[in-house]
Copies of this chain bind each other. A is one copy, B any other.
Amino acid sequence: MQNPHITAAILIIGNEITTGRTQDVNANFLAKELDAMGIELTEIRMIPDDETAIIKCVNELRKHHTYLFTTGGIGPTHDDITSTCIAKAFGLELERNPEIEDIISNRRKGYTVVPATYRMADIPKGAELIGNPVTHIPGFRLENVYVMAGVPSIMRGMFESIRPHLKSSTPSVSVTIDSGLPESSLADGLAAIQNHHQAVQIGSYPYRIPEGWRVSVVMRAKDQGHLDMAAGEVEKMIVTLGGTPVRL
């Protein structure tokens, strides 16, 4: 298969997200990375640290996507229940991993190691480690499920370890054209262009300036030629309507 259709889902786990204490930024980071690899992100879910919810979501999402990425809940405290839930979702036991045990025991100074620290060495039997260049204690992979930390810097480090192992596909190319015009005035023309260019995905995103609302047109395609053709038509339409198209 030259250009396989690869899909992904993201599961963000943590009460801090669903109570609004924390603005999630992990999903957006992963969305951009996956997009650049030609992996289609079809769903993001965010749920509290609730065992039933985590198991249900993990099992639903891992079945319907090439990859599932989870963030959050793999630290050393009582509220870190993700590893246990992943094990249960797969019908596996948690097992102390000797490699992680060693990493914890040998970490450089500045880290406190107490018995609870070793909770982070308990991962589902058979899981493969995900390297962590930031705080060293690994995440893990079970089949198509990648289990990462919730702290953004650590999650990003873990994703760097995962990236080389993921299948990728042709990424979309995109162009953003600022119209300087209100959204409604472009609507009919955009619909017609979208209709003639099914291989191009055309989105319309309003934003506010002091004089009123204006719109940017975002166009995406797998093929540069298709994109250029449709973008040319959008620019021509904007000029016809009295606007000045600006490629951003």
Say whether B218 contacts A21, CB under 8 Å: yes
A106 on interface, CB distance cutoff 8 Å: no
Complex alpha-carbon distance, A115 and B188, angstroms = 9
Say whether A77 contacts B190, CB under 8 Å: yes
A155 on interface, CB distance cutoff 8 Å: no
Q: How many residues of A contact B (CB 8 A)?
A: 77
Of B47, B186, B204, B212, the residue contacting A110 (CB under 8 A) is: B212
Q: How far is the CB of A46 from chain B (nearest CB, A)?
A: 4
Complex alpha-carbon distance, A22 and B15, angstroms = 23
Interface 9-mer from A23-31, A82-90, A125-133? A23-31
Complex alpha-carbon distance, A23 and B44, angstroms = 13
Say whether B42 contacts A18, CB under 8 Å: yes
Q: How far is the CB of A118 from chain B (nearest CB, A)?
A: 9
A43 on interface, CB distance cutoff 8 Å: yes
Say whether A31 contacts B19, CB under 8 Å: yes
A114 on interface, CB distance cutoff 8 Å: yes
Of B16, B110, B206, B211, the residue contacting A211 (CB under 8 A) is: B110
Complex alpha-carbon distance, A207 and B16, angstroms = 14
Contacts of A45 in B (CB 8 A): 43-46
* Known interface pairs A116-B188, A202-B79, A206-B75; A18-B46 also in contact (CB < 8 Å): no
Interface 9-mer from A140-148, A161-169, A177-185? A177-185
Complex alpha-carbon distance, A154 and B203, angstroms = 18
Say whether A35 contacts B20, CB under 8 Å: yes
Interface string of A200-222 (1 = CB under 8 A from B): 01111111100111000010100
A151 on interface, CB distance cutoff 8 Å: yes
Complex alpha-carbon distance, A205 and B14, angstroms = 10
Of B12, B114, B202, the residue contacting A184 (CB under 8 A) is: B114
Contacts of A17 in B (CB 8 A): 28, 31, 44
CB<8 Å pairs between A and B, sample of 8: A24-B27, A24-B28, A42-B50, A77-B183, A110-B211, A112-B182, A112-B185, A114-B188
The 7 closest A-B CB pairs, nearest first, are: A116-B187, A20-B31, A20-B32, A78-B191, A44-B46, A117-B184, A77-B204
Apart from A16-B203, A77-B186, what are 7 other A-B pairs with CB-CB below 8 Å?
Answer: A14-B203, A18-B31, A19-B31, A20-B29, A22-B28, A75-B183, A78-B195
